[in-house]
Amino acid sequence: MDKERYIAALEISSSKIVGTVGRIDDKGQLDVLAVEQEKGVEWVRHGIIQNLEETGIRISRIIEKLERRAVIAPRRINSVFIGLSGRSLHSIKAEVKISLPEETEINEEIIKRLEQDVWRTEIDSSLEIVDAVPRYYVIGKQATHSPIGVLGNEISAVYDVIVCRPEMKKNIDRTVREKLHIDTCGYVVTALSAGQLILSNDEKRLGCMLVDLGAETTTVTIYKNGNLIYFDTIPLGSRNITRDLTSLNVLEEAAEEIKMTSGNAIAADKPSTLSLGGLRLADVNDIIAARSEEIVANIIEQIEYAGLKQTDLPGGIIGIGGGFKMNGMTDLIARESGLPVRRGRLPQYVRLDDIKSPSSETIEAVSILYAGATHSDVECLEEPERDELPTMGDPNEEYIIEDEEELPVNRPSRHTQRGGGFFGKIGKFVGGIFGDNGDDDTELI
């Protein structure tokens, strides 16, 4: 990496849309310079954009606010990395095999052939492959995470093929590229990028589960022996709790406020006799606890679906997403699973310069940004044709234009689609093809 590069990313979820801009230097240090977000309760459902016009307006606002920041202006955002998350995302186990004419030293070209073959895996016609992450390779009878350099006349590989409904990407393209004329540098599976950013190598080698408890869905990814082995999305989230509370004759906005300020995911030993705004707290807590227990039961059940037991995950459960901000949720999962549970946090090599944005609320968006920064050489911002750029300022200040001329939304587009190559890069990185997980003699799943 010859110089600093500016990267931009979008996280489009059912509760909010988050835009970020970061700068990565030649040592791999990522500075998250600015974060902006817009609420989006009705425009995105289960990860799929339902209203292209309204979603486009909110993304346009985010882009404009980012471009007005002193630390970014007068640069313009001309391309972004976009995260994929939602109900249809899940993994399918697939195996591919190549026979070699004679004993051959496995090289990167052979691994690339395996990757190309797995992308041709036959799947349900209602789904689309968006990533393929290798679990392990078998050369002869030897299983390994590090196939490069091994001799053999046959190689096979087990992959987790990540799929989703085609509408997920299609509607993003129609909104971002066609309406706003902003290029898509690549799509990033948000759960995978978050796992790469916040899970330690030790946790992934021991066995751990990353849980992203969002508004409408909960994404579960499980790692063992350093590799992804399970990925699924549960169609339940923290908004289910909010909507349950509306049965007490309150609007959803008020129900959300009550949930976050007065609710607890763990049922009280002794019912409260207090009232809040005419609502009995005992009724509120009963509703919250009942739905929370259902969500947690579904989360823990994923361990069995992955063919594992709780004892197979000594690395514990790591939680991210807005649902973990609710009182008692972390403790409830720990109690029901019998595993250690911690909240996910950004690593030290990522610096959040935007003091207005708590790291707990930006992990997913920052993970997309980091994946784009470290697995490509793309520059997402363009500099104006000036001799000098203004000195970097406070990332939380806005760039003031003297005549207050509004920044244009529509701009010429190169329409350079680079998503396909990016998936291969992040698949290699997440799967650990080049063996950064220690010895190969561990048990493979």
Q: Across the 445 residues of the chain, what is the mean pLDDT of every consecutive 10-residue run?
A: 84 92 88 91 85 94 96 95 95 96 93 96 95 94 93 96 96 95 95 96 97 96 96 96 95 94 92 83 94 98 97 97 95 97 93 81 94 92 69 51 41 43 42 37 47
Residues 6+ apart with CB under 8 A from 270: none
Residue 268 near residue 250, CB atoms below 8 Å: no
124 φ, ψ (degrees, to nearest 5): -55, 135
SS3 for 366? helix
Q: What is the pLDDT of residue 399?
A: 45
Q: What is the pLDDT of residue 64?
A: 97
Residue 215 near residue 322, CB atoms below 8 Å: yes
SS3 for 33? strand
User: In angstroms, rounded to a whole number, what is the distance separating the alpha carbons of residues 207 and 218?
Assistant: 19
CA triple 194-195-198, angle to 5 deg:
80
Rounded to 10°, the helix 281-305/329-337 angle is 50
Any idea what DSSP says for residue 161?
A: E
Residue 337 near residue 319, CB atoms below 8 Å: no
| Cα dist from 98 to 106, 242, 260, whole Å | 11, 51, 54
- The one-letter code for the residue type at 317 is I
Q: Which residues in 60-105 belong to E strands, given as ranges?
A: 76-77, 79-84, 90-105
Q: For the range 371-374, what are the long-range contacts, defined as Cβ-Cβ under 8 Å and sequence gap of 24 or more?
A: 371/81, 371/188, 371/193, 371/196, 371/197, 371/426, 372/7, 372/9, 372/81, 372/185, 372/186, 372/188, 372/422, 373/5, 373/7, 373/22, 373/24, 373/30, 374/24, 374/28, 374/30, 374/429
Q: What is the pLDDT of residue 353?
A: 87
Rounded to 10°, the helix 419-431/190-198 angle is 40
Q: How many CA atoms lie within 13 A of 95 on its CB side?
A: 7
46 Rama sector, left if φ>0, alpha if ψ -120 to 50, beta otherwise: left
Going from the N-terminus, what domains does the chain have, and what CATH number goes with each?
5-87+167-193+347-428 (3.30.420.40), 90-164 (3.30.1490.110)
β-bridge partners, 149: none
DSSP letters spanning 208-239: EEEEEE-SS-EEEEEEETTEEEEEEEES--HH
Residue 82 near residue 365, CB atoms below 8 Å: no
DSSP letters spanning 376-417: -----EE--S-S-PPPP--TTSBPPPTT-PPPPS--------
Element (H, E) at 142: strand 142-144
Show the tokens assigned to 4.
């600093």
User: In angstroms, rounded to a whole number, what is the distance separating the alpha carbons of residues 320 and 304?
Assistant: 21
User: In angstroms, rounded to a whole number, what is the distance separating the alpha carbons of residues 93 and 95?
Assistant: 7
User: In angstroms, rounded to a whole number, what is the distance separating the alpha carbons of residues 277 and 126?
Assistant: 47
Threshold 0.75, pTM exceeds: yes
SS3 for 91? strand
The tokens 């990016």 sit on which residue?
422
Show the tokens assigned to 267.
């049922």
Backbone Cα Rg of the chain:
23
Residue 161 near residue 92, CB atoms below 8 Å: yes
